[in-house]
Amino acid sequence: MDDLKRGGIAVIDFGSQYTQLIARRIRELGVYSEVFAHDGAAEHINQHRPAGYILSGGPASVYDRDAPRLPAFLRASDSPVLGICYGMQLLTEAAGGLVASAKTREYGPAIITHQARSPLFDGLATDLRVWMSHGDRIEALPPGYSALAESDNSPYAAIGDLSRNRYGVQFHPEVRHSPQGQAILSNFLFRICACQRKWSAESFIEDAVKKIRAQVQTERVLLALSGGVDSAVVGALMQRAIGEQFTCIFVDHGLLRKGEAEQVLQVFRREQGMNLIAVNAIESFLGALQNVTEPEAKRKIIGKLFVDVFSEEARRLRGIRFLAQGTIYPDIIESAADSKNAKTIKSHHNVGGLPDDLHFELVEPLRDCFKDEVRKIGLALGLPEAIVWRQPFPGPGLAIRCLGGLNWERLEKLRAADAIFTDELAAAGMLRQGTAQSFAVLLPVKSVGVMGDKRSYEEVLVLRAVTTDDFMTADWARLPYDLLARVSARIVNEVAGINRVAYDITSKPPGTIEWE
């Protein structure tokens, strides 16, 4: 039995969009947590002997014919249980209370008042702002339960059977819109379940290393290293776990930012000591992209060529059974949106469409992690901040930032301008805070200017910087004028062939973050 996981929290999923978020909040509190399907086998759910259970919300109504039910082992269990929203309604129904459809759906912020002294609200102000999102509500409490908090909309915003350590909350403590939600979860973990804080980036690594070794045994593993955070962290993790059995392929397609290819070699080959094969495929990529201007055509060509180059290298290596991938939890949600099968690998993960004859089995050690957790793990593995805090960079690279036809000269121009923008943002402390993504875009447009008393007729460069949490919507970053002025002056002076710099002030929507 794995000691690290013993005494954690099993989150039982009833279909809420927030289920993984609950698990992540618990890990933030230093406690191991894992999500299980509501109809999973009891032995599987209980394999690490959880100290308590959290029942997620969900879209069903407890009286629906096919509604997911409270797992049988939990009806009999003496362990602490916290039901959130649908989870609370399930506890109520299972213990003989009454749940009914509310007259109005309650969605959004609400104030709850907790009057009873209960360990769940220990140390918290009496009135709390919380986030509600439910259609059903509790009409009558089951025997043994009492109301722990009320809201304007319901006398049962939180309930509990303290003698059996059963608690329910109608609101969502896991979302940031419930500012004291984390304190409530913390009370459940430490006051009610008596969990211990033993979960950390270091303990994740220790555990992941064991799992990787158990999965791959003496077989060899391959990784397509892009230099992005996720593949970098998987690489460092695989290296720690199986060193000699592990090989990375880094395809340099010539569409990377300034110094990026050199940095990948420095960090992964020299510092991390990885067995890294660097493939210089610049000519093939630029050749295939010559005269291609349509953005989707660029993407298709790059995606296909990447798979071809990678597969050829992989075939040459022989005897490799596993492919490691930097899939993280948000990728799985995104793919689930396009597919019923939540396990599909996102298409822009490049290596998703490998030819059948390669027959790789996947190793995906970060698939339950969120981006910020991946960063913590990367730092704990000794990766440099420059890699761990790198902004997202699209798979097709500079090809979709160099508008119009691509050639080496235009790419170099774009790289030089982009590096100046990045340097100045970093110097102003705005690369990590203040912008979520920032880059330069070279337009296939010339404008007239005057330099040294002479007429110039050169290309236009656009600076793009956005703030966003999820990259689905974004606002253009309000960068200081002085910073923009410095960047513009430096680019026009230092980069030959650019005589005008513009700043993109379009949000998403209606714009997208990238220009292509």
Interface with ligand XMP in residues 322-341 (CB under 6 A): none
Pairing of strands 146-151, 154-161: antiparallel
Please name the residue that has the structure tokens 């009492």.
146
Contacting range for ligand XMP; rule: CB under 6 A; set: 123-131, 252-260, 269-277, 388-396: 388-396
- In terms of C-beta density within 10 A (0-12 exposed, 13-18 middle, 19 or more buried), how is residue 471 classed? middle
> Going by C-beta distance under 8 Å and a sequence separation of 6 or more, which residues neighbour residue 133?
57, 85, 106, 107, 108, 172
Site string for ligand XMP, 493-512 (x = CB under 6 A): ---------------x---x
Catalytic-role residue among 85, 193, 195, 369: 85
Of the candidates 58, 83, 181, 395, which one interacts with ligand XMP according to CB under 6 A?
395
- Return the SS3 of 506: coil
Backbone angles phi, psi at 409, to 5 degrees: -65, -45
Of the candidates 437, 438, 488, 499, which one interacts with ligand XMP according to CB under 6 A?
437
Catalytic-role residue among 174, 313, 373, 424: 174
513 counts as binding ligand XMP under rule CB under 6 A: yes
Q: How many amino acids of this chain bind ligand XMP (CB under 6 A)?
A: 12
Interface with ligand XMP in residues 262-301 (CB under 6 A): 299
On whether the CB atoms of residues 19 and 35 are closer than 8 A, the answer is: yes
Shortest distance in whole angstroms from residue 386 CB to ligand XMP: 18
Peptide bond into 59 cis (omega under 30): no
* Distance separating alpha carbons of residues 88 and 69, to the nearest angstrom: 12
Please name the residue that has the structure tokens 């121009």.
413
User: Among residues 185 and 309, whose Cβ is nearest to ligand XMP?
Assistant: 309
What tokens does 420 get? 């100046």
Give catalytic status of residue 219 as yes or no. no
* Distance separating alpha carbons of residues 8 and 22, to the nearest angstrom: 13
97 counts as binding ligand XMP under rule CB under 6 A: no
User: Among residues 44 and 348, whose Cβ is nearest to ligand XMP?
Assistant: 348
What tokens does 412 get? 């170099």
| Amino acid letter, residue 340 | K
Of the candidates 396, 461, 464, 487, which one interacts with ligand XMP according to CB under 6 A?
396
> Going by C-beta distance under 8 Å and a sequence separation of 6 or more, which residues neighbour residue 117?
none
Of the candidates 24, 257, 394, 498, which one interacts with ligand XMP according to CB under 6 A?
394
Q: Where are the alpha helices (DSSP H) in 161-281?
A: 181-186, 201-216, 229-242, 260-264
User: Among residues 172 and 299, whose Cβ is nearest to ligand XMP?
Assistant: 299
What tokens does 80 get? 């602490």
- Return the SS3 of 420: helix
392 counts as binding ligand XMP under rule CB under 6 A: yes
Please name the residue that has the structure tokens 């997911």.
68
Contacting range for ligand XMP; rule: CB under 6 A; set: 112-120, 197-205, 366-374, 392-400: 392-400
Shortest distance in whole angstroms from residue 229 CB to ligand XMP: 12
What tokens does 391 get? 């902004």
Shortest distance in whole angstroms from residue 226 CB to ligand XMP: 9
Shortest distance in whole angstroms from residue 299 CB to ligand XMP: 5
348 counts as binding ligand XMP under rule CB under 6 A: yes
Going along 152-284, which residue ranges are E strands?
A: 154-161, 166-169, 220-224, 246-252, 275-280
227 counts as binding ligand XMP under rule CB under 6 A: no
User: Among residues 146 and 512, whose Cβ is nearest to ligand XMP?
Assistant: 512
- Residue 419 CA from chain centroid, whole number: 26
User: Among residues 221 and 436, whose Cβ is nearest to ligand XMP?
Assistant: 436
Shortest distance in whole angstroms from residue 262 CB to ligand XMP: 22
Interface with ligand XMP in residues 466-495 (CB under 6 A): 471
Among residues 447, 31, 4, the alpha carbon closest in space to that of 207 is found at 4
- Return the SS3 of 440: strand
Give catalytic status of residue 195 as yes or no. no
User: Among residues 87 and 394, whose Cβ is nearest to ligand XMP?
Assistant: 394
Give catalytic status of residue 172 as yes or no. yes
Shortest distance in whole angstroms from residue 421 CB to ligand XMP: 15
Region for residue 452 given its phi and psi (left: phi exceeds 0; alpha: psi -120 to 50; beta: otherwise): left
Shortest distance in whole angstroms from residue 304 CB to ligand XMP: 13
Residues at the contact surface with ligand XMP, assessed by CB under 6 A: 299, 348, 392, 394-396, 437, 471, 508, 512-514
The residues annotated with a catalytic role in the active site are 85, 172, 174
